[in-house]
Structure 1
Amino acid sequence: MENFILLDGGTGQMIKDNGFKCEGEALWSSAALKYAPELVKEVHESFAKAGATTIYTNTYSLHLNSIEDIPEKLGTLIAKNIDIINKICQTYDCTYRISIGPLAVKFHDASEYSGAYMKDGRATIKDVCDHYDAILGEVQKHGYKDVAFETIPTMAEVKGAIKSLKKYPRISAFLTVVPKDENETVGGDSLIEITKIIAECLQINAFGINCCNPNFCSPVAKLISPYIRDNQFLIMKPNDGRKYLPEDDCYFGAPIDMTKDLPELAANKVRYIGGCCSVRPDDIKKYARYIEEHKIKMHDS
């Protein structure tokens, strides 16, 4: 698996599916760090056992709940999660990144899949920067340095995340956006134009898409790979292709097997492969097996 690095899958969804009641929790699955840390450990470890060599923390939905909230509470949960992951990393020879969700996580309305909150008056760029500052400040204070901005729906929020990141020069980042199709984000912004902005930020060492249909991955990689820096790489972290039905709280349809696309992805500077939401350890294990059997290596540009 040289030159291909496997990420994990849908940690938060697995925590929910394994019995943690996320509904009513302001921090959704991240609240499991307070109430069910053993479950968090089990889910992280299941992905490490499957072959993931970079584990994302269960902190995607962390945010400040109110004006009375303080960043230190977020830092405490991040530190607790990293204590859990460090033990797993020692056993399975893997590493981690601190997952940071978009400002949308505070609204609990899945608006990361539309970007509506950046257009309907609920949020400003200052709000975006305050959200990222609160988390990044705690990351730096605790001495951590590797984060992953996930599921960003708009160009405006990408710019806000970068503005905050530059205040913390010791921190390096992955960043993924949610695509609407093969050319634009769900917020209607050009993937090429966002890639150009990402290329200018030296603290971002990998960029890509997440929580989308796997069929988007190959065309998006081909589209944006010419615009990233020579020392940047691409991330593909889609769901498994099934549609989520919120009224039934379940996934519908047949999953899409993305293993057949791995050689083409490798040829277009994709180094990081993983999954989102409905992707389970068995899916990561399937990637690992396919990569090993076919000896896929990323092509140099």
Structure 2
Amino acid sequence: MLIAGSIGPYGAFLHDGSEYTGSYVKDMSIEELKDWHRTQMQCLAAAGVDLFAFETIPSLKEAEALVQLLREFPNNKAWLSYSCQSTSLTSFGERFDEAVNIAERSNQLVAIGVNCCSPAFVGPLLKSANSKRVRKIDWIVYPNKGENWDHKLGWQGSTDKAISEYALEWVQLGARWIGGCCRTTPKDIASIQDTLKTKNVF
């Protein structure tokens, strides 16, 4: 068992929903983002976490800040996971394959991937980046259950397909770390495990 310490996007601190768009990075420098994240990482490192979970990162700029900041913690590893708005773009509207290339520059990352998005986006996102990767470290994927988020109304709609039904494709595309984000339950995670066991995966 590994314990990961969560490092989420700066926008979550603002309580205005901007973590889902990354709009705040337009007004911040990489150094400002590093300064904000540094204290959290220092606390988690002192507490003895096995690795940092850089998750729900909406933009290339914040990813670059975290990759640079990780060098200040040479004894620590991390994964980096982007939030995405579509089958090819991060939540800030940048190409996912370019975002992956930025993250791959770090030798301290054990996995790169996507979370907090529709499970239907995951396969196309991985495909969009697989042929352009520089250093093929593991994929990590943990999307939402599948409903749509409305900033005024909350979660709307229903899921067309169980999250476990996507899991085999993700493994075939290189995912080695698989889980769930918003609205997923222990039952969903157990179903993913059962599906992969049935197919003799892992």
Q: What is residue 296 of structure 1 aligned with on the other side?
A: 201
- 2:119 alignment counterpart: 214
Larger relative strand fraction:
2
Residues 3-44 of structure 1 show CA distances to partners (whole Å, capped at 9, x for unaligned) of xxxxxxxxxxxxxxxxxxxxxxxxxxxxxxxxxxxxxxxxxx
2:30 to 125, 134, 137: 125
Q: SS in structure 2 opposite 1:200?
A: coil
Residue in 2 aligned with 1:4? Answer: none
1:275-301 Cα shifts (integer Å, max 9, x gaps): 11111111111111111122124xxxx
Aligned counterpart for 2:66 among listed residues 161, 170, 173: 161
Match of 1:70 in 2: none
Please, which of 99, 106, 114 is the counterpart of residue 21 of structure 2? Answer: 114
Give the equivalent residue in structure 2 for 1:264: 169
Residue 44 of structure 2 corresponds to: 139
Give identity over the alignment, percent.
Answer: 28
Q: How does 1:20-31 map to 2 (within 5 A)?
A: none
Q: Structure 1 residues 142 and 272 mapped into 2: Cα distance closer, same or farther (>3 Å)?
A: same
Q: Whose relative contact order is higher, 1 or 2, with alpha carbons under 8 Å and at least 6 apart? A: 1
Match among 149, 169, 172 for residue 77 of structure 2? 172
| 1:284 aligns with one of 189, 198, 201 | 189
| Number of residue pairs matched by the alignment | 200
CA–CA distance in 1 between the matches of 2:179 and 2:50?
21
- Classify 1:200/1:245 alpha carbon distance in 2 versus 1 (closer, same or farther; 3 Å): closer
Query: Hey, what does 2:156 align to over in structure 1?
Result: 252
- The alpha-carbon deviation at position 98 of structure 1 amounts to 0.8
Deviation at residue 188 of structure 1 after TM alignment:
1.6
Conservation of the 8 A alpha-carbon contact between 2:10 and 2:33: yes
Counterpart in 2 of 1:182? 87
AA aligned to 1:105 is A
Q: Do the aligned partners of residues 156 and 95 (structure 1) sit closer, same or farther apart at CA in structure 2, a change above 3 Å counting?
A: same
Is the 8 Å Cα contact of residues 225 and 234 (structure 1) preserved in structure 2? no
- The equivalent of 1:97 in structure 2 is 4
2:57 is aligned with 1:152 = yes
Alignment partners' CA distance in 2, 1:144 and 1:270: 23
Contact 2:7/2:55 (<8 A) preserved: yes
TM-score (norm 2): 0.91
- Cα distance in 2 for partners of 1:113, 1:105 equals 9
Correspondence 1:31-110 to 2 at 5 A? 94-110=1-17
2: CA distance, partners of 1:117 / 1:245: 19
Q: Which amino acid aligns with 1:199?
A: E
| TM-superposed deviation, 1:218 | 0.8
Letter paired with 2:118: N
- 1:191 lines up with 2:82 in the alignment: no
2 CA distance for matches of 1:248 and 1:194? 30
Q: Which runs of 5+ in 2 are unaligned?
A: none
Unmatched 5+ stretches in structure 1? 1-93
Q: CA–CA distance in 1 between the matches of 2:13 and 2:103?
A: 25
Q: CA RMSD in A?
A: 1.7
Question: 1:125–1:157: 8 Å Cα contact kept in structure 2?
Answer: yes
Contact preservation (8 Å) 1:198, 1:228: no
Q: Check whether the contact 2:2–2:50 (CA below 8 A) recurs between aligned residues.
A: no
Amino acid across the alignment from 1:210: N
**Residues 145 and 170 in structure 1, CA contact (< 8 A), matched pair in contact too:** no
